[in-house]
Amino acid sequence: MTDQPKKPFLYVVVCAAGNAGDVGKLITAAQEQRWDVGVIATPQGLGFVDADALTSLTGRPIRSAWRRPDVTSPFPPADAMVVAPATFNTINKWAAGIADTLAVATLCEAYGAGVPTAVLPSVNAALSLHPAYRESVERLRAMGVLFGTEEDFRWEHALELLAPAVGRAVGR
């Protein structure tokens, strides 16, 4: 038996964007802040990361597909979530409630569960002007999702965005 308090658990949802291969920087920063971390990748996002390296870093398998009901989840419930890099497609599907992948379904459920969620978008300038994208960002913000900006994409910024909400969430 240990006297160590349970670490809060952070889900990192990673999408198919060019900078996804550096998501280990976010995981390391979170671990330095005493988070346990699990990675959920969109199906396309899997091709943008080194799954073996991330599994080694977190000590947990990367999730990308639904598990069978008789299989235990390798992750405990989330205390917070980060979506980074978050793509145009994922942001729009999430805002519309289109839960067709494990990653987006998990994000949709986070709202109902009251899990604080931060987003670091990775959307090019042309796509960011699309009306659907702007409406999706507004809808997610109205739901309490915390957004970084494309101009200030720093992995640690996601943890900074979560800081005010995390104390409340971890203490629930």
Q: Report the pLDDT averaged over residues 111-119.
A: 97
pLDDT beyond 50 at 171: no
Q: Which residue in the block uniquely carries the two structure tokens 């992750």?
A: 75
Around Cβ 16, how many Cβ atoms within 10 Å?
19
Q: Report the pLDDT averaged over residues 104-116.
A: 97
Rounded to an integer, what distance in angstroms lies between the CA atom of residue 135 and that of residue 40?
25
Q: Report the pLDDT averaged over residues 103-110.
A: 97
Q: Report the pLDDT averaged over residues 85-107.
A: 98
Q: Which fold has domain 9-66+77-170?
A: Rossmann fold (3.40.50)
Average pLDDT over the chain, rounded to an integer: 93
Q: Are 108 and 94 in contact (CB under 8 A)?
A: yes
pLDDT beyond 90 at 4: no
Looking at 1-15, 39-53, 151-165, which range is the least confident one? 1-15
| DSSP string across 49-73 | S-HHHHHHHHSSPPB-SPPPTTS--
Domain ranges for the chain: 9-66+77-170
Highest mean pLDDT among 67-71, 73-77, 93-97, 146-150: 93-97
Q: Are 70 and 160 in contact (CB under 8 A)?
A: no
Q: Are 123 and 88 in contact (CB under 8 A)?
A: yes
Residues 31-53: tens digit of each pLDDT = 999 999 999 999 999 999 999 99
